[in-house]
Amino acid sequence: MGGPEKPRPAPPPGVNIAGATLQPKVLPANDAAKISPDMQKLMETALSGGASMIYANGFALGMTNADAFIVLQQFGRPVAIVSVSYTLAKTLSQKFAGLVKEWETKTNAELQTTDMIDMKFKEAK
C-alpha cells in the first residue's frame, strides 16, 4: 500500500535473555560506591556481547588446596565451572552479600535462599 517500509529504529543496546533485555549499565553495589570509567567500559563491553552470558538457577561449590570453584547449573545440569583464588572467593562473597542487602533494604523485602525454599517445600509435605 504506500511505498517502501520505513526502517525501524534500532533496539537499545543490550543482551536479550528469555525475553528480558539487560542494558549495559553498571550501577554501584551501594550508593557510596563509585565505578571508574574503565570499569564501566569493561562492563558495557561484557554485557554487549564481549563475554559469554550464562544463566544459572543452581550451583555447587568445591575447593582444592589452592582454589575455590563454583559449578553453575541449569535445572541440575552443569553448564560452567568458575575457578577463583580464595582471596577472590572471599571478596565475591562480601560483595554479593552487600549487593543482596542493598536490594533488600531498597525493596523492603527479604530474599529467600534456595535452602529456605527447599525447607518450606519439605515442611509442606
What is the pLDDT at residue 15? 46
- CB distance 24 to 11 below 8 Å: no
Looking at the predicted structure, is the pLDDT value of residue 117 above 70?
A: yes
Sheet-wide strand order for 58-63:
58-63, 67-74, 77-85
Phi, psi for residue 113 in degrees, rounded to 5: -85, 165
Looking at the predicted structure, is the pLDDT value of residue 50 above 50?
A: yes
Predicted TM-score (pTM) of the model is 0.63
| pLDDT, tens digit (0-9, with 9 covering 90-100), for 55-98 | 999 999 999 999 999 999 999 999 999 999 999 999 999 999 99
Grid coordinates representing 40?
564501566
The arithmetic mean of pLDDT across residues 38-52, rounded, is: 82
Looking at the predicted structure, is the pLDDT value of residue 10 above 50?
A: no
What is the pLDDT at residue 113? 93
Grid coordinates representing 7?
526502517
What is the pLDDT at residue 28? 53
From CA 62, how far away is CA 83, in angstroms rounded? 9
pLDDT band at 45 (very low <50, low <70, confident <90, very high): confident
